[in-house]
Amino acid sequence: MSGCVYDLLRPAVLRSSVVFASPHSGRDYRPEFLMRTALDPLALRSSEDAFVDRLFGCAPQLGATLLTARLPRAWLDLNRSPEELDPLLIEGVTRGVPSPRISAGLGVVPRVVAGGRAIYRGRLSMAEAQARIDTTWRPYHDGLRAVLEDIRARFGRAILIDCHSMPREAISMSLRGARGLPQVVLGDRFGNSAGPDVVDRVEAAFARAGLRVVRNTPFAGAYMAEHYGRPAEGIHVVQVEIDRGLYMDEGRVAPLPAFATLQRLLRGVVAEIAAIDDVPEVPLAAE
């Protein structure tokens, strides 16, 4: 696949050290992928963080940066290491250290979508898997890394809000018996990917909006948080998972009437998070 694999939206005047990113909301299902898969387009979309880019789309209007993927998670998972290759899917991969993500079929080139449904009828060659990494994974991460380094150079630190959605069923099963299931799960790798001041402010923003928030259970953060989260070096990463049941029909992958209400609510949350650091205005047009 060729062409740009992400959209980088910068504000006219940069006022925030926060970068909002949505690596799993891409919905550009190109013909060459659809010809390779055993699933219909609706089944493929079950692994999307559908519409998350729209939920956080106001970030540039509020002085923050927004990075969104164009290509779908079923094609390639940007929240995985390029070394997380699945031996059951990709020819020539030797079995290494056991990985729960790979065992579940959720490596960098996913084997399954939601419900464990196989994406392909057979296996993929190592050359095909590597081509996806080279043309999709590397450009996205090169772009993300450049943005974070630029923000840190300007403001002394950069804060990545890694935006995702979680299936209602996954929350219910993981926290079976819990009273008042969380609507937002924040992941900071149990304090390793972001400083407590940052996570406290992010949590407070969602809580003030009336949303039930927990940390690290059942989602503590994956590759983005593991790889980029270096609080001591001035880069903080907080993974945000939002309950899909709040805004979409998961079976039809379609927004509910409540979508617009949540979108308006999250505008206040985004504004509060974007203002975590009291930073000077930086007009990007002058560069």
pLDDT tens track for 127-144 = 999 999 999 999 999 999
Kindly state whether residue 114 falls inside one of the protein's structural domains. Answer: no
Contact 212, 180 (CB under 8 A): yes
Determine if the peptide bond prior to 23 is cis (ω within 30°): no
The residue-averaged pLDDT of 49-66 equals: 98
Contact 2, 32 (CB under 8 A): no
Counted domains in the chain: 1
The residue-averaged pLDDT of 244-271 equals: 97
Q: Is the pLDDT of residue 235 over 60?
A: yes
Kindly state whether residue 194 falls inside one of the protein's structural domains. Answer: yes
Kindly state whether residue 60 falls inside one of the protein's structural domains. Answer: yes
DSSP string, 266-282: HHHHHHHHHTSS----E
Share of the chain above pLDDT 90, in %: 88
Integer-rounded Cα Rg, in Å, for the chain is 18
The residue with greater pLDDT, 1 or 98, is 98
Share of the chain above pLDDT 70, in %: 93
CATH number assigned to the domain comprising residue 243: 3.40.630.40
Kindly state whether residue 95 falls inside one of the protein's structural domains. Answer: no
The residue-averaged pLDDT of 68-83 equals: 98
Residues 6+ apart with CB under 8 A from 97: none
Residue 109 has what pLDDT? 98
pLDDT digits (tens, 9 = 90+) for 154-194: 999 999 999 999 998 878 776 765 667 999 999 999 999 99
| pLDDT bucket at 260, cuts 50 / 70 / 90 | very high
Kindly state whether residue 217 falls inside one of the protein's structural domains. Answer: yes
Kindly state whether residue 69 falls inside one of the protein's structural domains. Answer: yes
Select from 276, 274, 272 the least CA-distant residue to 209. 272
CA distance linking residue 42 with residue 29, whole number of Å: 11
Kindly state whether residue 94 falls inside one of the protein's structural domains. Answer: no
| pLDDT bucket at 200, cuts 50 / 70 / 90 | very high
Kindly state whether residue 124 falls inside one of the protein's structural domains. Answer: no
Residue span of the structural domain in which 65 resides:
6-29+40-73+136-286
